[in-house]
Structure 1
Amino acid sequence: MHAVTAYFRVGPAQNDHLPALRVALGVAVPLVVLLLIDRIDLAAFAVFGAFTGIFGRGDPHGIRLQHQSGAGVLLLTAITAGVLVAKYDAGPWAVVIGSVLVGGLGSLAADRWVLRPPGPFFPVFAFAGSASIPSTATIPEAVVTAVLSILLSLAIGTAGWLLPGGRSGWPGRRFRPRSPSGHLSANAVRYALAAGVAGGIATLLGIGHNYWAILSAIVPLAAATRSTRLRRAFDRVSGTVGGLGVTAVLLAVPLVPWQLVLVLIVLQFLTEMFVIRHYSLALVFITPLALLMSELAAPVGDTGSLLADRLVETVIGAAVGVVVVLVIRDPQKV
């Protein structure tokens, strides 16, 4: 009974509107600009670059800049690799192999730099999404869009330094304590294995969106303990079900591009408002956000099949994530 009541309990607010506004602004500005210059086909790369603003949400300005800079490097590398995979039409197995590499190496980098949120989820999302979402953009256009979006997020993240009292939040270089090297290796193996197995299963089944399974497999792994990782896998599935309902409603309405952009901005804001307080509730907004991003790049034909694919791949990925959590445990302290 306690587990049931805990599931429906939303954590206390922690000035969530401030980081939510920063991230939403980092998404809104490039999307509006792309809309005005009639290059909405670049929207996905702008959003992936804007993931930079998600990092270091509770840090002072100087620390936030350090962590967001590291995240920006990871994201830009992932986006560039994804665009290359897409442009050379390397196929779904290249997405799987690339996700394994980004997952493993990104985990090591994120752990060594002590990024928050932890883990390589966003770099893997940026890589696999860039490699899978149809786009008519050239490689330089996609990369430049991502770079400008990353720089904007860095500027927004440090803009508070200009306000009265902001400079007091500009300490010197300071990182959180790092995990032991054994934990870093275990994390990297977990991410790489989960990405490879989930992506491989989805590809063999021919569902068509293998990166959805990959993301669902790796997202539980960022939690701190085995029990919270298992809870995160359950949240992933239950939240996705609610998010698919919201997506079905939104896709049933014939939205024009500017309306889609507005909806994406609102969904990004709501995601950041609740992602710390209740992950399953945040997924009610994350799911349509991800699917509508694809809608901007390439309009959906069969909505029913799209939603069914998302659910099936989410279940596959979450199941793989659970197995990986149970099989590969954290090294014992000595």
Structure 2
Amino acid sequence: MKLFAEMFTIAPGNKDHQVAFRCAVGVFVPLITLVLLDRLDLAIFASFGAFTGIYGRNEPHARRLTLQVRGGGLMLLVMFLAALTARVDALAGLSAAGTTWVLVVATTVIAWGCSLVVAWWRLRPSGSLFHIFAFAAIASIPNQPPLWQAMLVAVLTVAFSLMLGQSSRVARSRRTPWVNPRPEGLTPDEKRAAWHESAGYLVAAGVAGTLGTLAGEWLGIGHNYWAMVAAVVPLVGHTTRHRVSRGLQRIAGTALGLVLLAGILLLRPTPWQTVLVIAACQFGAEMFIARQYMLAQVFVTPLALTSTLLVAPVPPGLLLRDRIVETIIGAAVGIAVVLAPGARRRVRGRVRGRRGTAAPRRIS
């Protein structure tokens, strides 16, 4: 019952509208600029560059700048590696199946490595969900734009997000002291926890990517990296119950979000209207992401899928089907990874208990 109640509980707000507005503007301005320039092939780099704004939500300005520089810099590196991976795959002349499996392996490594970096830098949101999404989405684009243009758009978007993060300093009443104490290094226990959690990201992303790919081959669905993204969602949280709840909320929120998306697609929005939808969904996602994960997913789902349609149009029906199937696969894998250690401990306890209660051998 507690698990069920948690899915419908909303935590108190904490200036979420301010963060939501910055993030919405941070994605809207670059995307509408690309629409006006007729360069939607670069939109995905702007979309992920705008993720810089999600870091340092309510931190003082100096600390926020540090966190956003780190978060934006890591995202730029991920996007650069993704673009290179796509080009290497093209040069290697791999088959479609070979390219898919290379992408699964590469994305799994990104999931592991970025989770470690994020933990070492104490970034929030924690984990490597956004980096998995960015790397796999960009690396899977068949027709890559010129690399220098793609990275220029990404860098400019990151810079714009950094500027928005400091924009409230214009108002004297909102200005915070420019103090940025050096963060404490991780304790030995925190380092062990970071390595342990990174192993969870490695396993969850790898297994989900494998199952998502096999399901794609059997059922004719694509976007296997959506399973990898969903698989790492339950890995964030302080308790097992909270982590399992996040996995279930991911599935339920995605289903509701697909209903909202279906309604949006029925209106057949033009590119500039799609950008408005993306900005509105970004606002809604940031309003609730720290308070009610299932409700946030109602906005995240159309946000992610309309961004995909903006760059690479596909039949909407196939997109909706792929999203729910891959999300269920990934969330199930993530929940299994969360529950596995506890299940292993219980099995070991039972085995030890049986050994302890076994009748002693009689020596004659």
Asked if TM exceeds 0.5, the reply is: yes
Match of 2:49 in 1: 49
Specify the alignment match of 2:333 in structure 1.
320
Provide runs of 4+ in structure 1 moved above 3 Å.
Answer: 1-6, 87-90, 133-136, 165-169, 176-179
Pairing of 1:251-270 with structure 2 (within 5 A): 251-270=265-284
Which residue is equivalent to 2:135?
127
* Aligned twin of 2:305: 291
Paired amino acid for 1:319: A
| CA deviations over 1:98-151 (Å, ceiling 9, x no partner) | 211111111111011000111111111111111124555222211111111111
With 85-94 and 12-21 compared, the bigger mean Cα shift is at 85-94
Question: What displacement does 1:237 show?
Answer: 0.5
- Hey, what does 2:317 align to over in structure 1? 304
Q: CA deviation at 1:5?
A: 3.5
Q: Which amino acid aligns with 2:140?
A: S
TM-score of the two chains, using structure 1 as the length reference = 0.93
Query: Aligned pair 1:93/2:101, yes or no?
Result: yes
**Residue 7 of structure 1, CA deviation:** 2.1
Give the Cα–Cα distance (whole angstroms) in 2 for the partners of residues 49 and 225 of structure 1. Answer: 31
Higher mean C-alpha displacement, 222-231 vs 28-37: 222-231
Q: Is the 8 A contact 2:3 2:245 kept in 1?
A: no
Cross-structure match for 1:200:
210
In structure 2, the gaps of 5 or more residues are: 91-98, 346-364
Check the 8 A contact 1:107/1:191 in 2, yes or no.
yes
Task: Tell me if 1:105 matches 2:110.
Answer: no
Q: CA deviation at 1:191?
A: 0.7
Structure 1 residues 6 and 319, CA gap change in structure 2 (3 angstroms):
closer
- Aligned position for 1:190: 200
Unaligned runs of 5+ in 1: none
After TM superposition, list the pairs within 5 Å mapping 1:47-196 onto structure 2. Answer: 47-89=47-89, 91-175=99-183, 178=186, 180-196=190-206
SS in 2 for 1:169: coil
- Report deviation, 1:286: 0.4
Give per-residue Cα distances to partners, 1:271-330, cap 9 Å, x unaligned.
1011111110010010011111111112222x222211111100110011011112247x
**Farther off after superposition, 132-141 or 229-238:** 132-141
What is the CA–CA distance in structure 2 between the aligned matches of 1:145 and 1:65, rounded to whole Å? 20
2:246 to 220, 226, 232: 232
Which residue of structure 2 aligns with residue 18 of structure 1?
A: 18
Does the 8 Å CA contact 2:55/2:123 hold for their aligned counterparts?
yes
Separation (CA, whole Å) in 2 of partners of 1:287 and 1:56: 23
Give the drift of 1:95: 1.9
| CA shift in 2, pair 1:176/1:254, >3 Å | farther
SS in 1 for 2:260: helix
TM superposition score normalised by structure 2:
0.86
Contact residue 3 and residue 241 of structure 2 kept, 8 A:
no
Alpha carbons of 1:20 and 1:110: their partners in 2 closer, same or farther (altered >3 Å)? Answer: same
SS of the equivalent of 1:178 reads coil
Letter in 1 for 2:282: Q
Structure 2 counterpart SS, 1:168: coil
SS at structure 2 position matched to 1:277: coil
- Partner Cα separation in structure 1 for residue 142 and residue 101 of structure 2: 16
Percent of aligned pairs sharing the same letter: 44
Amino acid of the structure 1 residue aligned with 2:250: R
Q: Partner residue of 2:348?
A: none
Partner in structure 1 of residue 293 of structure 2: 279
CA distance in 1, matches of 2:6, 2:263: 28
The answer to whether the Cα contact below 8 Å between 1:20 and 1:273 also exists between their aligned partners in 2 is yes
| Cα distance, 1:249 vs structure 2 | 1.3
Contact 1:46/1:145 (8 A) holds in 2: yes
The alignment of Structure 1 onto Structure 2 pairs a total of residues equal to 329
Higher Cα Rg, which structure:
2
CA contact (8 A) 1:107 1:120 kept: yes
Q: SS state of the match for residue 326, structure 1?
A: helix
Matched-pair contact (CA < 8 Å) for 1:110–1:119: yes
Partner of 2:264: 250
